Structure 1
Amino acid sequence: MAEALLPHVESSLVHVGEFPGGVGAPEPTFLPEDESHGQIRERVADLVMRACVKDYEKAVAADDVFLYQTGMAAITRLQEAIGALRKDGPTVVFGAVFHSTYHLFEEGEGGIRHYGKADESDVDDFEKYLEEGGACAYVFTEFPSNPILADKYGFFLVVDDTVASFANIDLLAVADVLVTSLTKSFSGYADVMAGSLVLNPNKGGYPALKEAVSSRFRNEFFAADASHLLSNHADYLSRCAIHNRNAAALAAYFHSAAEDPASPISRVWYPPYSPGSGNLQAFLRKPTEDFAAPGYGCLLSVELGTVAQAAAFYDALNFFQGPHLGAHLTICMPYNFMVYGKDSPEVHAAYGLKPQQIRISVGLEDQEVLLQRCAEAVRKMADTA
């Protein structure tokens, strides 16, 4: 957007005054939409209803999809909308979530109540909290926890499905709202940002949520970004199939290495090797001709015995480095160490986010090349750590 505006600065930039504290400032005009916005909404709605695990009474329509300039923008606007409906109680978070999401809730008016392990004992503790009259604005998780509680106590269940993505999982049976960073696998090429909310018309809270979100919605997603995102998305399903295969192959390699007592590899965090992986099976979409093998997405974490070993492995790993996921190139990062290393690391390590983990987001490279690079990094680590 800045690039598009720059040529017009000299000819059309007008000083409209100064407004300390925003008092008296003119109302913002926001951004116009074009046909790309509508096509993306239709595409998201189609993907959500594709190869579902069950038949639903109502289909998600294009006007149930709301587009934003980033995934975090989508979460922020949803937080504002739900806050208008439910003014009391914290946001309850199950499991590990994106650090910016965590801080958004932490800084919110109701604060955060976090169940990091997201196991049965955490669910029991949460139910006890509710039974004793504890308030809850809504539950946010990056995978559904216990939808029965949501029905019983009447809170909204919001699920971030970014990692597994629309191609692989169907969450309409449990989620009131799906939050997705379209920046990731949906785009696939790491050169445009966007986010979406999908409201589930099969849930009792849908009318109130639809009104709260739609009445506040103003387009902030620039048309040229929407057009570019739509172009990137053309090969989405074929890319997701490669992501699934590559990640599964690397996970199998690291799991095999971890079974050797002499190996510095402790474990790999990726289904079916992670605790609770069995819960994912019920939400995998049905195989189709154009997507024969729904899987678990592009992201895995490799856990080493020590931080020193993790550092040596990371230094030897011949992948691009950074925090992104879902791109066409494989990217790695000591995510937990960098994000939580100075922010109560022991708290996050207690539910699995240990500093000696290296996060890998697989790309579209040849599977054998990726396996060879990982094996080479393990060998080099053994020589230096």
Structure 2
Amino acid sequence: MRQNSLSYKYGVTVSVTFWLHPGSIILRAAIDIDGLEIILEKEKADHPDKSSALALFTEFPSNPLLRCADLPRLRALADKYDFLIVVDETIGNLVNVEVLPYADVVVSSLSKVFSGDSNVMGGSLILNPKGRHYSELKTYFAANYEDSYYCEDATYMERNSRDFSRRIRVIDANTQAVCAFLHSQPSVKTVYYPKYTTPEHYARCKRPGGGFGGLFSVTFHDPRVSEAFFNALPCHKGPSLGTNFTLACPYTILGHYAELDWAAEYGVEKGLVRVSVGMEDQKVLLDGFERALKVAVDSIKD
């Protein structure tokens, strides 16, 4: 049984659960993957009779900074120290990335872009049949899984997913165009997008012909521009992602309002705007983002 957990973050969302600890320990973003290996080695030395770690959980890429873990290296650590790797590929999605070779378990929110229509909820879990612990995991799920998915939800999910691949191609192209525009603007501080953020890690799992997904975040040199830009965006506003229509939110304000300083320690700025790009006409999308940015920049000149 797991007792406590140790969370490890180096700019991506990574959590490692250990057998024995007096509490939860968070390593700050400045610590890289070498720091994780040092901790694993120390745990092994302190408890040589058992595997120190139980499982490592990570997103690919992460939300909201769109950074990717070095999955091959984490896989090597998992094999050496005998722990599971669980990867959430919701944001990258299976059309764009293939993470199963590095994971024991791959999970995804089917409520997001797999459905796209925002009218049904669901999730998936895939076991890697080549994983060291596959037999044990398969036996556990066979004994404990209960199929309680409502039949009409299953019907809607199947219907919505029929054009999943086609929708992804449109969304990928739209997102890349919007990010290219924002990336070139002097008022923009950073565009967080897998093409620009830890691209070498993303490339290792990117499928041939795959894109970079439909989610990005953006920050600005002047926080006033951030607020004005979000307010001027001609799209729906809300905290979800993966919708067929473009959806934006002031992510940090919504998710970490009571802990803004803590979020900033991990690089998640107060003024960060997260955008989930949809399937609108690309020219219409670009015109909308250009107008919103112009309104925002002009607003601080008054």
Range class of TM-score, shorter chain: 0.7 to 0.9
In structure 2, the residue matched to 1:247 is 175
Q: Please show how residues 235-274 of structure 1 align to structure 2 within 5 Å.
A: 235-257=163-185, 260=186, 263=187, 265-274=188-197
- Unaligned stretches of 5+ in structure 1? 1-85, 287-292
Following the alignment from structure 2 to structure 1, what is the Cα–Cα distance between the partners of residues 234 and 275? Answer: 11
Which is richer in strand?
A: 2
Offset at residue 111 of structure 1 (A): 6.5
* Structure-1-length-normalised TM-score: 0.68
Partner of 2:116: 188
Specify the code of the residue in structure 2 equivalent to 1:269: Y
**Aligned ranges for residues 299-338 of structure 1 at < 5 Å?**
299-338=215-254
Q: How far apart, CA to CA, are the structure 2 residues paired with 1:111 and 1:235?
A: 46
Cα distance in 1, alignment partners of residues 23 and 138 from structure 2: 24
Match of 1:54 in 2: none
Q: Match of 1:280?
A: 202
1:68-107 mapped onto 2 (5 Å cutoff): 86-90=1-5, 92-94=7-9, 95-97=11-13
- Change in Cα spacing, 1:178 to 1:116, as seen in structure 2 (3 Å) is farther
Could you say which residue in structure 1 is the equivalent of 2:143? Answer: 215
Indicate the residue corresponding to 1:353 in structure 2.
268
Distance change >3 Å, CA 114–CA 195, structure 1 → 2 = farther
TM-score (normalised: structure 2): 0.85
Q: Distance in 2 between matches of 1:238 and 1:116?
A: 39
Aligned residues between the structures: 277
Structure 1 residues 331 and 111, CA gap change in structure 2 (3 angstroms): farther
Q: Larger Cα Rg: Structure 1 or Structure 2? A: 1
Cα 1:306–1:340, aligned 2, differ >3 Å: closer, same or farther? farther
Alpha-carbon separation, structure 1, partners of 2:288 and 2:210: 26
Aligned equivalents of 1:269, 1:182: Cα separation in 2? 23
SS at match of 2:106: strand
Query: Which of 187, 195, 201 is the aligned partner of 2:129?
Result: 201
> CA 1:277–1:116 in structure 2 vs 1: closer, same or farther (change >3 Å)?
farther
State yes or no: 1:138 paired with 2:47.
Answer: no
| SS of corresponding position for 1:173 | helix
Matched to 2:291, the amino acid is E
The counterpart of 2:34, out of the listed 105, 124, 132, is: 124
Q: RMSD of the TM alignment (CA)? A: 2.2
Aligned partners of 1:269 and 1:302 also within 8 Å: yes
Q: Is the 8 A contact 1:91 1:136 kept in 2?
A: no
Distance 1:110 1:309, change over 3 A: farther
For structure 2, the residue ranges without an aligned partner over 5 or more in a row are 45-51, 61-68
Deviation at 1:212, TM superposition (A): 2.2
Q: Compare 373-382 and 209-218 and name the one that shifted more.
A: 209-218
SS in 2 for 1:208: helix
Q: Which amino acid aligns with 2:217?
A: S
